[in-house]
């Protein structure tokens, strides 16, 4: 397993992050346990979850991880654990527990996550989305407290724009607080917008970048084109496949030439970017997890990266050069 530092912190994380969103609604608990054990065996120490995962049964995924930790065997001690706060957990809990961020909510939702996870701390606590109604004085005030209390090691963001990251870090600096250490963002071959602002901002500020949905919801997977026209494909998936069919067909042909499945090449492309810390892989089965490990062995050369740029053209340059002289 390869490891890197999370942003400018001294904490090392694996180059692949285990995403747990499927645990509960899609992947049964016993299979989730097998995947997490396999991840530790493979050297993956970075696990990502969120308090809302479980969807109809929000908190379900954290509960599964908590029961896995409770088995002992050094499981908790070996994991760099990340969870998130923003979404509502129970609409009956009143307006202050609806979607958004506040000192009131963060304290309560963090304590609830820790109970479900059966631990007294998380290494990385992430804002699942920006809340434009909350001031940074309020947010950094509560985050300073939970860090000082030992409940949280570091603070991260998710789905922030580049300017949100800059403003957040400027406010933290005024308080002599570390501020953010990472940004979790949608980034893949079909979504290269982060190259304009978010990736340059993260690199300039020393933040780790954790791409979510590296396979674009399965469009960059090995069987995406085979699903077109089948009853199992949702209307949205079918529409996306047809929209991107020329690029997906060219991508499949390139991967065939390389002798590697599309999903492996898609994640290897992310790993080749120096701005990327660890893409999130979200296996539903142990077999899918084992397939994902292959991405660490595949190194894409400049010629292949150039061909991928032709198939999936990004902005070409960061802002403002992408749209100016």
In sequence order, the β-bridge partners of residue 157 are: 127, 183
Residue entry with tokens 């802002």: 319
Token output for 256? 């065939």
DSSP letters for 93-142: G-GGGSSS--HHHHHHHHHHHHHHHTSS-EEEEEESS--TTS-HHHHHHH
- Axis crossing angle, helix 262-271 with helix 302-311, rounded to the nearest 10: 110
Rounded Cα–Cα distance for residues 274 and 283 (Å): 24
3-state helix, strand, coil in the chain (%, to 5): 45, 15, 40
Q: Choosing from 3, 5, 53, 323, which is the catalytic residue? A: 53
- Cβ count near 292 (within 10 Å): 23
Token output for 234? 């949702």
Catalytic annotation on 154? no
User: Counting every residue, how long is the chain?
Assistant: 325
Residue entry with tokens 């660890």: 278
Q: Is 273 exposed, middle or buried (0-12, 13-18, 19+ CB in 10 A)?
A: middle
- Torsion from C-alpha of 150, 139, 196, 280, nearest 10 degrees: 40
Active site residues: 53
């Amino acid at each position: 397993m390869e490891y890197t530092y999370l942003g400018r912190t001294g904490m090392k994380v694996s180059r692949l992050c285990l995403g747990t969103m499927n645990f509960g609604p899609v992947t049964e608990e016993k299979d989730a346990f097998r995947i997490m054990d396999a991840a530790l065996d493979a050297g993956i120490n970075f696990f990502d979850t969120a308090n809302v995962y479980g969807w109809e049964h929000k908190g379900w995924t954290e509960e599964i991880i908590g029961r896995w930790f409770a088995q002992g065997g050094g499981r908790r001690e070996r994991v760099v654990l990340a969870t998130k706060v923003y979404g509502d957990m129970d609409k009956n809990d009143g307006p202050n527990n609806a979607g958004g961020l506040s000192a009131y909510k963060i304290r309560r939702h963090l304590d609830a996550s820790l109970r479900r996870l059966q631990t007294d701390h998380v290494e990385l606590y992430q804002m699942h989305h920006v809340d434009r109604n909350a001031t940074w004085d309020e947010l950094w005030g509560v985050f300073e407290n939970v860090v000082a209390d030992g409940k949280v090691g570091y603070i991260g963001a998710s789905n922030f724009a580049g300017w949100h990251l800059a403003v957040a870090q400027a406010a933290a600096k005024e308080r002599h607080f570390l501020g953010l250490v990472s940004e979790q963002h949608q980034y893949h071959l079909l979504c290269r917008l982060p190259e304009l602002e978010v990736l340059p901002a993260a690199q300039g500020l020393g933040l780790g970048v954790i791409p979510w949905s590296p396979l674009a919801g399965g469009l960059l997977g090995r069987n995406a084109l085979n699903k077109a026209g089948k009853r199992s494909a949702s209307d949205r998936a079918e529409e996306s496949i047809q929209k991107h069919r020329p690029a997906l067909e060219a991508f499949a042909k390139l991967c065939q030439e390389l002798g590697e499945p599309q999903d492996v090449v898609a994640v290897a492309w992310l790993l080749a970017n120096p701005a990327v810390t660890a893409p999130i892989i979200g296996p539903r089965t142990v077999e899918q997890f084992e397939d994902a490990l292959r991405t660490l062995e595949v190194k894409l050369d400049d010629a292949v990266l150039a061909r991928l740029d032709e198939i999936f053209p990004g902005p070409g340059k960061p802002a403002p050069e992408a749209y100016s002289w």
